[in-house]
């Protein structure tokens, strides 16, 4: 049996003088929400051991701050009021320079960053030992999750159109998932042992798959899991086929300006789809059988890169190979999910929204009118 020091060789019981910065760049849909929430929940206990998950102030959630840091570094400004991310990168750099031990920066939008932005990060953090942490999952699991996530973010495209764009490399998620291309950019100028690839365990690997994944990320971050005892209940749950199609139709019916105001995200995406309808059994979105050869080819390319690069692998490289469902398992096209299942999802959604409207003391009448119009459209179909 290996000792704790052997399993977590970078762990220190006291803060170390050499400053390290661990840049966790994703990829999306590899447990990033869970990892970030657990880091935030345990930020004080981690700081005692010289591991800092930074925020701008005690009243700002570290995960929100780090999202703004990533936006500012990349020169982007979305997900809030105009200018909400301005100055966040410089604030992070100032705070990182005043910390000894380890600093963690985590957000998945960093994965497909262009070389100029990666160079800026390394230049602004000069003097620190830079580590890059990247979570990876096979495309048979990633692609369906990415389509659902894009719908949660307000996109309207069909699954068929999304798949075509993924194969062509013409979507953001493809650039974020392409392990060799992502890590060729981020690993430039770094020793291979400073690049950590964490594979996502498959379902059924362990009774608590989230805990296993957390332990893997702890090894990549060089921390002892005992330093972060508070678990997170954050789960970016997958939607069923009917719920995804319902949200897609809502995206088509609600004006884009309403989504930008934040109310759409609050009421529809977060409350309805995450808290209430996520995980309903209306059929899993799966990769079409015809795309498995493409997914397998990509997986082998990723595995070859990991094995030849000498980077630090945490997990099992075979988890990057897609597993086809058992022979004879029927595949259902999410774009053709039955009207009955969509109606069931719509009724459940309408019940949730009615309860939420009654609960709120001062509801936005204009938004409620949009909900009523949407419900009428569903009844008329």
pLDDT of residue 263: 59
Asked if 36 and 135 sit in the same domain, the reply is yes
Residues 6 or more apart in contact with residue 217 via CB below 8 angstroms: 24, 31, 35, 133, 135, 198, 314
Q: Answer for the pair 277, 243: CB distance below 8 angstroms, yes or no.
A: yes
Ranges under pLDDT 50 in the chain = 1-9, 12-17, 207
| 368/255 Cα distance (integer angstroms) | 14
259-301: per-residue pLDDT in tens? 555 555 666 666 565 556 666 667 889 999 999 999 999 999 9
| Residue 10 maps to a domain | no
pLDDT of residue 8: 46
Asked if 134 and 102 sit in the same domain, the reply is yes
Asked if 121 and 231 sit in the same domain, the reply is yes
Last residue of a domain, one of 294, 320, 346: 320
| Residue 331 maps to a domain | no
Asked if 43 and 93 sit in the same domain, the reply is yes
Write the CATH number for 38. 3.40.50.300
Asked if 102 and 51 sit in the same domain, the reply is yes
| Residue 370 maps to a domain | yes
pLDDT of residue 380: 55
| Residue 333 maps to a domain | no
Domains identified in the chain, total number: 2
Asked if 273 and 151 sit in the same domain, the reply is no
Asked if 343 and 206 sit in the same domain, the reply is no
Residue numbers of the domain that contains 352: 241-283+338-380
43-70: per-residue pLDDT in tens? 999 999 999 999 988 888 999 999 999 9
pLDDT of residue 7: 45
Asked if 219 and 254 sit in the same domain, the reply is no
Mean pLDDT of the chain: 85
Asked if 109 and 211 sit in the same domain, the reply is yes
Asked if 157 and 271 sit in the same domain, the reply is no
Asked if 348 and 222 sit in the same domain, the reply is no
- Cα of first residue to Cα of last residue in the chain, in angstroms, is 62
pLDDT of residue 262: 53
| Residue 332 maps to a domain | no
| Residue 13 maps to a domain | no
| Residue 7 maps to a domain | no
| Residue 5 maps to a domain | no
Asked if 60 and 168 sit in the same domain, the reply is yes
The sign of the torsion formed by the CA atoms of 214, 220, 225, 230 equals negative
pTM: 0.85
């Amino acid at each position: 049996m290996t000792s704790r020091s052997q399993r977590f060789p970078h762990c220190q019981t006291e803060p170390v003088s050499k400053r390290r910065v661990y840049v966790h760049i994703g990829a999306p849909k590899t447990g990033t929400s869970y990892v970030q929430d657990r880091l935030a929940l345990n930020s004080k206990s981690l700081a005692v051991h010289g591991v800092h998950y930074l925020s701008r102030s005690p009243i700002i959630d570290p995960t929100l701050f780090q999202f703004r840091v990533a936006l500012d570094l990349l020169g982007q400004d979305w997900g809030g009021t105009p200018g909400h991310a301005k100055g966040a990168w410089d604030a992070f750099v100032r705070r990182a320079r005043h910390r000894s031990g380890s600093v963690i920066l985590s957000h998945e939008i960093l994965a497909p960053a262009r070389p100029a932005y990666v160079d800026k990060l390394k230049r602004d953090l000069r003097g620190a030992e830079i580590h890059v942490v990247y979570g990876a999952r096979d495309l048979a699991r990633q692609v369906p999750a990415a389509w659902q996530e894009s719908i949660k973010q307000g996109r309207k495209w069909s699954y068929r159109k999304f798949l075509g764009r993924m194969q062509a490399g013409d979507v953001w998620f493809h650039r974020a998932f392409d392990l060799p291309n992502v890590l060729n950019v981020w690993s430039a100028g770094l020793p291979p042992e400073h690049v950590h690839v964490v594979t996502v365990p498959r379902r059924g690997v362990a009774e608590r798959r989230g805990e296993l994944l957390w332990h893997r990320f702890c090894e990549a971050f060089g921390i002892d899991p005992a330093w972060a005892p508070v678990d997170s209940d954050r789960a970016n749950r997958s939607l069923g086929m009917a719920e995804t199609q319902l949200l897609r139709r809502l995206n088509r019916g609600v004006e884009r300006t309403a989504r930008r105001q934040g109310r759409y995200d609050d009421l529809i995406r977060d409350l309805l789809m995450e808290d209430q309808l996520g995980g309903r059994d209306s059929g899993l979105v799966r990769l079409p059988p015809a795309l498995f050869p493409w997914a397998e080819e990509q997986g082998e390319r990723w595995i070859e890169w990991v094995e030849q690069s000498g980077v630090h692998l945490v997990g099992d490289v075979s988890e990057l190979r897609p597993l086809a469902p058992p022979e004879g398992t029927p595949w259902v096209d999410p774009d053709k999910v039955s009207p009955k299942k969509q109606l069931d999802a719509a009724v459940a959604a309408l019940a949730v929204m009615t309860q939420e409207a009654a609960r709120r003391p001062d509801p936005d009448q204009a938004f409620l009118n949009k909900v009523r119009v949407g419900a009428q459209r569903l009844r008329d179909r």
